[in-house]
Structure 1
Amino acid sequence: MWSAASRPNMHSCFLALCLAVLQGLKIVHSFPNPSPLLSSNWGNPKRYVHLQTSSETRSFYLEIDEDGQVGKTATQNAFSVLLLKAETRDRLAIFGVKSKRFLCMDAEGKTFTSTICNKEDCLFHHKLLENNQDVYYSCKNNLVLNLEGVKHIFVPGQNLPAYSLFLSEKNTIPLEHLLHRDKRNGHVGPLEPRNIYYGETSDSRAINTNPEHGFNGEAHVVSRESLGPTYNEEVDPNDPLRLLEPRENFSPRYFQNMR
């Protein structure tokens, strides 16, 4: 049994412990989250980002325009809003939210886009560098994503082109600028899920008639279950493709490294 004399001391200790916990919470919240990808709200559109790159004189954002062309823009816009989707522990897909196209890279290091995620061309490794910048390089040939267009193979510890170093910036473009309904045909756009899995497959390159380099739309496509719903499933208006849903094989280390 506790004596009556010891009860005030216990009460004081309890109050001191509560104050210590509150102080700790204040310290944690005083440091802003450096990355929009680290949000605890996994299904929140706050994870939409812009990838910014710069040289000593200029800076640009990666964008995928309405025709599927990969380019750069000096200011943030609806076509520079991207979603970084982890496919495995060390691989991710880069998805243009407005254009509803995946960023891809061919064997020569040229970028193009596709309405489906071809695992051979449209998945990238991500590396967080010591200077807190990000580099993305092809899973197929280790060529870095470079807005300058010059081929460069990623080798740890070696210098990289200026326009292959990126910073992730939180998206501030209103969601209604990314999602709209096409009144002419009644289809939901631009993230209308049917076109990606049940419509025609297309990419931004010229059609290649060489059978040796043909595209197999069945064998190398990310599974429909992992990236989006069927047509009859309920669609979240904030995430019609369900690209923001969590997956069991996400790498915690990857999201901890993103700023």
Structure 2
Amino acid sequence: LIFWAALAPTASAFPLPNSSPLYQFDGQVRLRHLYTADEQTHLFLEILLDGRVRGSKNQNPFSLLEIKAVKPGVIRMQGAKTSRFLCMTSSGHLYGSEQYSEEACNFRETVLNLNSCFHKVSL
């Protein structure tokens, strides 16, 4: 009891942030490198300082994106290096914008199970 009393004034407890997927809409930001691949192409999406969006063969500071849910099933993505938002024109052209627009910069997110994310390769 004396030991506890001596530590009580200096001991403090802080709650751990809840990382449960059930709480994904409380302001959490996920840091990810978005990757696409097919038989010929293997690229990471990157947002450059001038707002161009392109693919890079390697992960780099321009390909690191902050992904944040704005409402259930809808996310916005922002370049960690450039602070530009990933946006899309009505014709499907991607660009990096300094200004956030719900219409241009919100994307629908669909969570897939692991089995649908991998394709069997026959040798």
TM-score, structure 2 as length reference: 0.67
CA change 1:106–1:65 in 2 (3 A) is same
When normalised by structure 1's length, the TM-score is: 0.33
Query: Residues 1-259 of structure 1 correspond to what in structure 2 (within 5 A)?
Result: 47-129=30-112, 131-132=116-117
Alpha-carbon deviations, 1:23-42, whole Å to 9, x = none? xxxxxxxxxxxxxx96x9x9
Contact 2:44 2:56 in 1 (8 A): yes
Q: Secondary structure at the match of 1:120?
A: helix
Unaligned runs of 5+ in 2: 1-19, 119-123
Q: Identity of counterpart residues, as a percentage?
A: 34
Bigger helix share: 1
Q: What CA deviation, in whole Å up to 9, does each residue of 1:143-175 have, x standing for no partner?
A: xxxxxxxxxxxxxxxxxxxxxxxxxxxxxxxxx
**Count of residue correspondences:** 94
Normalized per residue, the structure richer in strand is 2
Larger gyration radius, structure 1 or structure 2: 1
Q: Residue 5 of structure 2 aligns with which residue?
A: none
Letter in 2 for 1:81: L
RMSD: 2.6
Listed as ranges, the gaps of 5+ residues in structure 1 are 1-36, 134-259
Q: Take 2:28 and 2:73, find their aligned partners in 1: how far apart are those partners? A: 22
